[in-house]
Amino acid sequence: MKKILNILMLVSLVVISACRKSDNAAMPDGIVYLNQAQITKVDGGDPAILDTDPLGFASSVRVDLYFKNSDKNPDHLDLVVMKNGDTKNVKTLKADISSYPTDVEISGQQLTELVGEEILSGDQFDIGADYVVGRKT
């Protein structure tokens, strides 16, 4: 019993002495907080790409900022598209968007030219924003 108490005392002493207030990591100085982009489909236009005529697709999206009166806006945004979740093949739909809200037209022909292959049944396109602060390298 005495051995167990000695071991418990030793373990608790090690645990208590291992914790120091100075061990808490501070947030790095290089973090930049930016306003979020809000991308929504504009009313009208095609709701989806049809299998019968993928090149005839025409629609538009509106790029706006979520917080209207924020002083943490990006210098500009690039509207990008990704086909079928392939994160290694992201293409720019429209570059240097700096006034908000902005409507961007999207066509089936444009998507086909960007991805370099024809649109097939079941293809999925994700549209997002690439933030640019300062200069883009």
Query: How many angstroms separate the CA atoms of 105 and 107, rounded?
Result: 7
- pLDDT tens, 97-129? 888 889 999 888 898 888 888 888 788 888 899
- pLDDT tens, 24-46? 666 666 666 778 888 888 887 77
Query: How many angstroms separate the CA atoms of 112 and 107, rounded?
Result: 9
For the chain, how big is the Rg over CA atoms in Å? 26
Domain boundaries, the chain: 37-132
Give the highest mean pLDDT range of 24-28, 51-55, 68-72: 51-55
Query: How many angstroms separate the CA atoms of 55 and 109, rounded?
Result: 5
Task: Give the global pTM.
Answer: 0.67
